[in-house]
Chain A
Amino acid sequence: MEQIELNVILKKAETYYRRGSFAFAIREYETAFSVSPTSELADKIADCKRELDLRNRKDLISRGHKHVKKKRYAEALDYFKKAAVIREEEWLQKKVMQLQNQIQQLHLHSKLNDIEKKDVKEKILIYNRLLDTSNDTLILKKKAACLVVDGRYSEAVQAFSTLSLTDDQALYYYGFALAKSENFLHALEHWSKINREYPTAFQEQFIELALLVVRKMQKAQYTHEEIKNAHTIAKRSDNLKPYLNSFRSCLLASLWAGEKYEEFLSLLPPTPIKFAGNILNIYAKLYLQLCIQSPEFIDDAISFFLTAIYNLKSQDMRYCLLSQFSESLLCVNKISTDTNFYWEAEKRTIEKLRNLIPQTNNSDILVCTPAFASRFQLSEQISRQLQKMRASGEIDEASYFQTAVYYSPTATAFILSEAGKVDEALAQLVKNATDEISIWCRRKICFRYAMKKLQHGIENGKVAKCLNQAIPLVEKDKDLQKELIDFVYIGNVRKMPGTLSNYLEKMCSTIKNTAFEQAAATCICIHAIELYNAGSISLKILNNMLKKALMIDPNCKLAHDTLTEGQNDCQFHELEKAFCRGNFEKASAIARKTDQDDIRQLYFELVEEFYDETNYDRLFEVRRKELLRYFLQQCCQLDDHHPIVLKIQNELN
């Protein structure tokens, strides 16, 4: 063959190749190869064959898919297998396996359909035979269902337990077998997974089962974990909603028995506004247990516990619980001073309120602690009730204010002041409040502030101003008057405050009370003496101040004694001064007029001193004798047996 002819053949072959006519291309290449057997031509032929195979494979796969769509799985499998022979691929392998399984399942189904018509016992035997050779879950499920129908519940439970169940029928059969085997909780768990709307007959069985679970829980036949699980099932199931409280109460009882109080608290419904019946007691005992476990609950425990026990009918029980609470709990927990104060304040206030609103009273007021009232918005109601009782004369003014203040908006400031935090209390006071409780509270806080500052020796304009602000309150309140009296006698202050002295003097114009007047007079005296001793005032001012004290309390012994002492001092001073200046007549007159032995004694001493000092002074002899005669005369008037009298007489004779 000519080279030219060969080229023509090759050209033809390439044209076929480009067009994708690989069979023709092979034919042309093979002709060319027979003439000129080159490796290049051999490669071309192999290439064309490969392309041809791929095309065939694609065609086979496409046909396979078409058969799958028409559910002709056997034909489809044949095509996919052929395609796999041409070229293996993972997905193709999977497809082949999937089709093989589908065909097998179809085969099995048709077989099982035939079995369905048979008697249940016979069916179980057939399923057992099938299961000898196959591990098919469908057969196992069918067998398990047959066991349920046949009443072989424990075997059914065993069979179902190996399966993962999702369909409602299997879930129902398994649950039924479990229920019949008295495994109620597991039965309920499986039945609660049934998705479809419950048919009425099933709904009845479901409730029956749920109540069996509840009864077992109530009889403490389940562990805490099982009860928790049952509660979770009930919470998830819409059909068990009406019974959820039964499950919840069982869980709460279990938590309580297990001392799991925080979890218990988390399960309670939101704190109610009205604490009717037993609810208050539940919260009280719960917070009590919680605060034994953790001090963070102590405030809640105090307010709930006190409120609950002050609403108990038995007073004996109340006091027993009170002592248990304070002794065991507060001592064991080593509570802070603040908490202790809070406890005392809450206890004192609720006790007062209970006394004002006795249990026999028909009002629907819940007697509670101030903190409790504030938390549950009961303060206003209590304040109104107290106001009403005050207006009708059931309670006196002092009791009204002392109790109502804790349930008012000023309670925080008031409690602070009672706790001794007077600066904070004063700062917390609501400015410009004009209601009577606020005014009363402001005055009381001012009084507390002033007393605290005076106790610490602080005296300034603010203290005086606060004391003045408290005047209307002090005038009425005997307790505050007593506090002032006690301050004077046992105030334990280094120095009696002048502010207090002035204040008491001023208050005596309105407070006509002997004890108060006595204290005021004593206070003025002590203050005056302290000033005199410090050299801050003259004897004259001291005497004036003492006289002022005596005007308030004419029987004030301290004023009397001090005044006498002051007068003595004055006479001593004058006697000495007169003698030194040679004014013997004045000196003798003082000695004559006084009723004080000490003054007379001083006169004798001064005369003796004169006698001794001038004894050897001969230049002075005439004048000395003259004076001695004068002194003899004066001394004889005072005491003619005095040794100096004899001494002078001897010398003059």
Chain B
Amino acid sequence: MNNPFKILNVAPETSKEKIIRQVAIAMREKQYDLKLIAEAQKELFDPVRRQAAEFIHVLELDGLIEPQRDNMENKTDSFEGELLRCFDE
């Protein structure tokens, strides 16, 4: 059971256009056999097979582990804290 998302390096929600572009890239990179790349593309273009591939290969942890909700949009990627002196001797 080959992972078409991994072979073409695409996310589950990727559009057909992006998939075609990724097929070209994958063929250039030659990391996978041409047959595998073609099969991966075929699988992702077939709605039922694509859903099946998502079922097998894509991990969604919803329901099993609930991470702490964190409003990521409003947060920067840098540390904003001020130096505290509470540990000074």
Interface residues of A (CB under 8 A from B): 148-149, 168-169, 171-173, 176, 179-180, 182, 184, 187, 194, 199, 201-202, 204-205, 208-209, 211-212, 214-216, 218, 242-243, 245-246, 248-249, 252-253, 256, 268-269, 276-279, 281-282, 285, 288, 292, 309, 312, 314, 316-317, 320-321, 324, 328-329
Secondary structure class of chain A's binding surface, majority of residues? helix
Contact call A246/B68, Cβ cutoff below 8 A: yes
Tell me if B14 is interfacial: C-beta within 8 Å of chain A: no
Taken together as a complex, chains A and B put the C-alpha atoms of A557 and B6 apart, in Å, by 68
Q: Tell which of B60, B66, B72, B86 has the most Cβ of chain A within 10 Å.
A: B86
Secondary structure class of chain B's binding surface, majority of residues? loop
Residues of B within 8 A of A249 (CB): 61, 65, 67
Residues of B within 8 A of A149 (CB): 83
Q: Which of B34-89 contact A (CB under 8 A)?
A: 48-49, 51-52, 55-57, 59-68, 70, 72, 75, 77-81, 83-84, 86-89
Contact call B48/A320, Cβ cutoff below 8 A: yes
Once A169-B87, A202-B86, A285-B59 are accepted as A-B contacts, the answer to whether A269 and B79 lie under 8 Å apart by CB is no
Cβ of B21 to closest chain A Cβ, rounded Å: 20
Contact call A201/B86, Cβ cutoff below 8 A: yes
Once A169-B89, A201-B84, A321-B55 are accepted as A-B contacts, the answer to whether A215 and B75 lie under 8 Å apart by CB is yes
Contact call B81/A205, Cβ cutoff below 8 A: yes
**CB-CB nearest in chain A for B69:** A246
Taken together as a complex, chains A and B put the C-alpha atoms of A199 and B87 apart, in Å, by 9
Once A253-B59, A285-B59 are accepted as A-B contacts, the answer to whether A184 and B88 lie under 8 Å apart by CB is no
Q: Tell which of B48, B68, B86 has the most Cβ of chain A within 10 Å.
A: B68
Contact call B84/A205, Cβ cutoff below 8 A: yes
Contact call B51/A208, Cβ cutoff below 8 A: no
Cβ of B55 to closest chain A Cβ, rounded Å: 6
Cβ of B6 to closest chain A Cβ, rounded Å: 9
With beta carbons under 8 angstroms apart, the residue of B59, B75, B79 that contacts A184 is B79
Cβ of B57 to closest chain A Cβ, rounded Å: 7
With beta carbons under 8 angstroms apart, the residue of B49, B61, B66, B77 that contacts A253 is B61
Residues of A within 8 A of B1 (CB): 288, 292, 324, 328-329
Once A314-B48, A314-B51 are accepted as A-B contacts, the answer to whether A214 and B70 lie under 8 Å apart by CB is yes
Taken together as a complex, chains A and B put the C-alpha atoms of A405 and B81 apart, in Å, by 65
Report how many A-B pairs have Cβ atoms within 8 Å: 121
Cβ of B45 to closest chain A Cβ, rounded Å: 14
Taken together as a complex, chains A and B put the C-alpha atoms of A204 and B81 apart, in Å, by 9
Cβ of A244 to closest chain B Cβ, rounded Å: 9
- Size of interface on B: residues with Cβ below 8 Å to A: 32
Q: Which 5 A-B pairs have the closest CB atoms?
A: A277-B63, A246-B67, A179-B79, A205-B81, A169-B87
Contact call B64/A199, Cβ cutoff below 8 A: no
With beta carbons under 8 angstroms apart, the residue of B60, B72, B84 that contacts A199 is B84
Contact call A208/B79, Cβ cutoff below 8 A: yes
Residues of A within 8 A of B67 (CB): 214, 245-246, 249
Taken together as a complex, chains A and B put the C-alpha atoms of A246 and B67 apart, in Å, by 4
With beta carbons under 8 angstroms apart, the residue of A169, A215, A252, A288 that contacts B65 is A252
Residues of A within 8 A of B86 (CB): 199, 201-202
Residues of A within 8 A of B64 (CB): 268-269, 278-279, 282
Taken together as a complex, chains A and B put the C-alpha atoms of A430 and B19 apart, in Å, by 58
Once A252-B59, A252-B61, A279-B64 are accepted as A-B contacts, the answer to whether A215 and B77 lie under 8 Å apart by CB is yes
Taken together as a complex, chains A and B put the C-alpha atoms of A253 and B66 apart, in Å, by 13
Cβ of A383 to closest chain B Cβ, rounded Å: 27
Taken together as a complex, chains A and B put the C-alpha atoms of A626 and B81 apart, in Å, by 144
Cβ of B50 to closest chain A Cβ, rounded Å: 10
Q: A173-B83, A252-B59, A279-B63 are in contact. List 19 more A-B contacts (CB 8 A).
A: A169-B88, A180-B79, A209-B79, A212-B78, A215-B70, A246-B68, A252-B61, A253-B59, A256-B59, A269-B64, A278-B60, A282-B60, A288-B1, A292-B1, A309-B55, A314-B51, A317-B48, A321-B56, A329-B1
